Homo-oligomer: A and B are copies of this chain.
């Protein structure tokens, strides 16, 4: 048994990797090659974003033609910066990147984020450029994020290489690893502007010429800010490494993955887009499942799951309660419960009896619980409160879906909802709001700010609850082994 223990070896590697990633996400200084004075240009937006996000480290804009940009002193080259630099961001056309890399090499820079596209993503034209960049990186022991990406964003340190103008980024517990630049930008903008959950870190990996998903996973597992990891990936650089890293990570934190380039058409497109090679999708499906990764089909599903994992505890079992002021929505929720592999909870007859006693004589409640009749005697807010209390108290219930119409008034009903949630902190909740757009938006914001996930249909709410349950089931099995 004279072999080196592969686990120790990996842990050894993890240690320096961890330092490196610590530097990447929390640098003390950064330089922007291609910084610009022209608002709207990528090289301007990056500097502006660093200022907006309150980045505490030093910022060195690099531009041989400018004296200052946004009040910051400019330098003609990386080498001419009078102090050391942790991370260099490159936002110049790809043919200019190798020269800038040489500068970094001489300067002793540890890590570079290459925003620019026009490398392996540009086929035969760009491949030699990416090869040259990697040679220089190896020479100088420089780690690279990208190329062809928006790069990094850490709302806690304020560090970012993102060129999409950012207004505000809510700090939170969801880490997001994305493959593609433009896409990470568009999705990021969507998430930041429309969602209430916050981000712990964003890493756009682009062509992944060096740093890949499996390098980041151990960092996010240890990162105290991160509770959930969401991934958008086209290609996996190293299947076995990814499987090992993912399997280890999912023992601690859930990974939700949108792995695209599934079809032949998508694979071909990914190859020309990020130079990603994708193998058999069935194989990948198996690998992800084996590793306990929750695979999703599209953008909305990714965010639907991220937020429920961010906000809610894991359920102990599959038994789901359904409360709805609309019988029709209740029927849909019951269908969805079955469709997504959950079980409609077998409510204790006492629970039903308790609720029936408060309803008009004619009402004959069952499960799903149609609370319209209860609303007639208690008001809709009271009906939700009473029924949720009874349902969550019921020992047969592991989690609960509540449908709300927009006649539910947040100022009358949300406080009571939160108090009940506090009484049963181990049972996850999902809400579905259907009705008037403006009121739905207010309900969405009010509830989500209190960590109650809101969905626009019973199906999407139930699907999210089912993802929680699947993960809960998975870890109880792997931890049991």
Residues of B within 8 A of A154 (CB): none
Cβ of A219 to closest chain B Cβ, rounded Å: 23
Q: Are A273 and B328 in contact (CB under 8 A)?
A: yes
Closest to A325 in B: B182
Contacts of A183 in B (CB 8 A): 326-329
Tell whether A364 pairs with B272 under 8 Å between CB atoms, given A332-B260, A335-B260, A337-B265: yes
Contact B268 A366 (CB under 8 A): yes
Say how many copies of this protein the assembly contains. Answer: 2
Q: Is A434 in contact with chain B by the CB < 8 A criterion?
A: yes
Is A418 part of the binding interface, using a Cβ–Cβ cutoff of 8 Å? no
Q: Does A263 contact B (CB under 8 A)?
A: yes
CA of A335 to CA of B278, assembled, Å: 13
A126 located at the interface, meaning its Cβ lies under 8 Å from any Cβ of chain B in the complex: yes
- A327's contact among B269, B335, B437, by CB below 8 Å, is which? B269
| A361 interface residue per 8 A CB criterion | yes
**Chain B nearest Cβ from A166, distance in angstroms:** 10
Binding site secondary structure of chain A: helix
A298 touches B182 (CB 8 A): no
B residues within 8 A CB of A260?
A: 328, 331-332, 335
What residues of chain B lie closer than 8 Å to A273, measured between beta carbons?
Answer: 327-328, 330-331, 370
Asked if A332 meets B266 with Cβ closer than 8 Å, knowing A122-B362, A126-B362, A459-B299, the reply is yes
Contact residue range for chain A?
Answer: 35 or more
Residues of chain B lying within 8 A (CB to CB) of residue A190: 434-437, 440
**Does A280 interact with chain B (Cβ within 8 Å)?**
no
Task: Identify the closest chain B residue to A434 (Cβ).
Answer: B186
Residue contact A329 to B122, C-beta cutoff 8 Å: no
Question: Which B residues lie within 8 Å of A339 (CB)?
Answer: 262-263, 297
Q: Is A348 positioned at the interface, with any CB of B under 8 Å from its CB?
A: no
Residues facing B in A416-469 (CB within 8 A) are 434-438, 440, 456-460
| Residues of A near any B CB (own CB < 8 A) | 94, 117-118, 121-126, 178-180, 182-187, 189-190, 193-194, 232, 234, 260-266, 268-270, 272-274, 297-300, 325-332, 334-339, 344, 361-364, 366-368, 370, 372, 405-406, 434-438, 440, 456-460
Ranked nearest first, the 8 interchain pairs of A and B with the lowest CB-CB distance are A183-B328, A273-B327, A180-B328, A263-B338, A182-B326, A298-B459, A193-B437, A194-B437
